Amino acid sequence: MAYAIVDDAMHIQFQNGDVYVYTPAATGRLHLKVMRQLARAGAGLSTYISRQIRDRYSLKYKREVLEESEDAAPAAAQAATVKRRKVAPSPSS
């Protein structure tokens, strides 16, 4: 698992290569705070996501599509790789 903290969001790449983007609007500020702490500690993040967060993410980048679009133009690659979700504010934000 790899992660990046970008502004107020987290980008997390799981073992299968898919990248999920977690934002305060989708996940909740408190959950993001806990996720950042777990990521920095190096333990428990995957378990926390599977038990507490589940499918409350903003975007999902599929590994297969990322690999196919590496040679594409940047705008086309971005358009091809993003699975957008409509996000309602989380009650814990």
Give the pLDDT confidence of 17-69 residue by residue, as tens digits. 899 999 999 999 999 999 999 999 999 999 999 999 999 999 999 877 656 65
**Total tally of structural domains belonging to the chain:** 1
Q: Is the dihedral of CA 34, 3, 20, 13 positive or negative?
A: negative
The answer to whether residue 52 sits within a structural domain is yes
Per-residue pLDDT, 20: 95
Dist. CA 83–CA 1, nearest whole Å = 20
Q: Which two tokens stand for residue 8?
A: 């107020």
* pTM given for the model: 0.70
- Asked if the model's pLDDT at residue 82 lies above 50, the reply is no
The answer to whether residue 58 sits within a structural domain is yes
The answer to whether residue 90 sits within a structural domain is no
Strand partners, 20: 12, 60
The answer to whether residue 92 sits within a structural domain is no
Q: Which two tokens stand for residue 22?
A: 């977690």
The answer to whether residue 93 sits within a structural domain is no
First to last CA, the chain: 25
Mean pLDDT, residues 3-22: 93
Containing domain of residue 72, as a range? 2-84
The answer to whether residue 48 sits within a structural domain is yes
Contact 75, 11 (CB under 8 A): no
